[in-house]
Amino acid sequence: MRSRIEWAARVVALVALGAAWWMWQFPPSVGRSASNVAVLETVSAEAESDSVLTAIVNTLFTSGQSALRLSVSSVPGQQTRALLHAAQDAGWRVEWRSGVNANFMAANAIAVSATARTDPDGGTVIQVAAPTGTALTLSDSLGWIDSVLVSDRGTYWNLSGDARAFRVASPFAVATVGASAQSPVKRIRLFAATGWESRFLLNALEAAGWTVDADFSIAPRVSVTAGSPTTIDTARYAAVVALDSSAWRQAAAIGRFVRSGGGLVLFPGSARGAALAPLRAGGVGSALAGIPGALRSALPTEGLAFTPVTGLASDAVVMARSAREGAPVAVAARRVGAGRVIQIGFEQTWEWRMLGGDNAVLDHRDWWRSMLQRVAWSSVAAVEERWMPLPGNAAPLADLVARLGPPADAYGPDSETLANAAPPVWLLVVALTALLGEWWSRRLRGAV
């Protein structure tokens, strides 16, 4: 009889140890801990299915627990985050922790912004901050658009078309973002003397969709007017392009225009004088001739006459440098009041269009388009600067942290975490008791 009891104690101990090991390795998806905390397994960002939301609702509302702990391998989707946030606001204790890797925060942090291009053809610029090496896919309502491997902590897409809502997905998070409608202002005011540069600039901007207002002086009291030049203000113009000293007489009006949000493009001929000096990004250096043959090379702007931007203003930002010795500044920009100024060192850009490579006409137009996009005034800016209480789905991880707080394991292990992670204590107690009983019985009967 005693021998059978001892055999039974051994079996009980082995079964208890096996069950403890099993529950340690394969904890239940939703269970009840000793502290009335429900544990919910991985929530997938990609598959924000009804089942996940149903599991959360069931856990919170039907199982009677007062707290919920999420163990996630990727950032939960927008609806899940919103539901958890609402539950937390309603009094439930909601915590989350990374269930897969210790580098969860760094691996999952992506944030996306979308800005309507200030361009007559519309389009959107999408910028993404993401860990280097992250594979990203971009899609809109019609499907996939592109995929890239992030090379330097971020990437961007410059998209044409009317799409306004986009989705950027990494293996661990999905961000969605929408761009506001673009500004209807499509006019440019050009100040330039009559010449090939002004004529080809006019052609390039009009080909890019801009309406250009200019008056070209031909003779005393005779000028040729393009468009319908009028008072310079942000209600009429997105930007002013000042090629040469023709703009100096309007310097005061241009200054007011820029400070109230307008864009300004300065060239050496216009930046050189004192009239527009308060607005410029830097000084005007000595003129250099274009490098022979460069117009048909991969760096066509090096073939243009070039006057470096020197002595940058303290708040100026270098946008481009020349490939010449010493890497002189070719393009610099700064903010002036609410507006932006870009100062360009290249001159006679029409030679690029006429003498450049096979795509010179399009390249010249697109280069000018990009210059205008950098400064052109847009009413969108005011909309984008509105206060946002939460990051939203443009930055899913930041949104999760803002809603639920940092992950529980970010503060180190706590007793509940350890309790949930360890095998059930009562099973170990049962196993230990059984083994002690079996050992005590054998000692009483003198067995070895």
Partner 1 sequence: MSADRVRTSPGDVRGNATGALELEPRRSPFVFATAQYESGDWDSAPSLAGNIIDTVARYTSLAVEPQGAMVSLSSDDALRYPLLFLTGHLPVRFTSQEGRVIQRYVERGGLLFIDDHNHDIDGAFHKTATEEIARLVGPLQPLPNNHVLYSSFFTFVDGPPTTSHELNGWGDNLVHEQLLAVTRNQRISVLYSNKDYSSEWNFHPDNKRFMGVDPTRFAVNIIVYALTH
Size of the site for partner 1 (CB under 8 A): 38
Work out whether 417 is an interface residue with partner 1 (CB under 8 A): no
Select the residue interacting with partner 1 from 14, 149, 181, 354 (CB under 8 A): 354
Select the residue interacting with partner 1 from 275, 333, 375, 408 (CB under 8 A): 275
Residue number with CB closer to partner 1 (101 or 359) = 359
Smallest distance, partner 1 to C-beta of residue 236, A: 22
Select the residue interacting with partner 1 from 166, 172, 216, 367 (CB under 8 A): 216
Work out whether 280 is an interface residue with partner 1 (CB under 8 A): no
Work out whether 213 is an interface residue with partner 1 (CB under 8 A): no
Smallest distance, partner 1 to C-beta of residue 388, A: 43
Smallest distance, partner 1 to C-beta of residue 353, A: 6
Work out whether 224 is an interface residue with partner 1 (CB under 8 A): yes
Work out whether 348 is an interface residue with partner 1 (CB under 8 A): yes
Select the residue interacting with partner 1 from 193, 327, 429, 447 (CB under 8 A): 193
Work out whether 405 is an interface residue with partner 1 (CB under 8 A): no
Smallest distance, partner 1 to C-beta of residue 347, A: 9
Which of the stretches 56-64, 244-252, 313-321, 397-405 binds partner 1 when contact is defined by CB under 8 A? 244-252
Which of the stretches 27-35, 230-238, 242-250, 424-432 binds partner 1 when contact is defined by CB under 8 A? 242-250
| 3-class SS letters over the chain | CHHHHHHHHHHHHHHHHHHHHHHHHCCCCCCECCCCEEEECCCCCCCCCHHHHHHHHHHHHHCCCCEEEEEECCCCCHHHHHHHHHHHHCCCEEEEEECCCCCHHHHHCCEEEEEECCCCCECEEEEEECCCCCEEEEEECCEEEEEEECCCCEEEEEECECCCEEEEECCCCEEEEECCCCCCCCEEEEECCCCHHHHHHHHHHHHCCCEEEEEEEEECCEEEEECCCCCCCCCCCCEEEECCHHHHHHHHHHHHHHHCCCEEEECHHHHCCCCCCCCCCCEECCCECCCCCHHHCCCHHHHCEECCEECCCCCCEEEEECCCCCCCEEEEEEEECCEEEEEECEECCHHHHHHCCCCHHHHHHHHHHHHHHHHCCCCHHHHHCCCCCCCHHHCHHHHHHHHHCCCHHHHCCCHHHHHHHCCCHHHHHHHHHHHHHHHHHHHHCCCC
Select the residue interacting with partner 1 from 6, 197, 213, 399 (CB under 8 A): 197
Work out whether 368 is an interface residue with partner 1 (CB under 8 A): no
Residue number with CB closer to partner 1 (157 or 350) = 350
- Interaction site with partner 1 (CB under 8 A): 193-200, 202-203, 207, 216-220, 222, 224, 226, 244-245, 248, 251-252, 268-269, 272-275, 348, 350-351, 353-355, 360-361
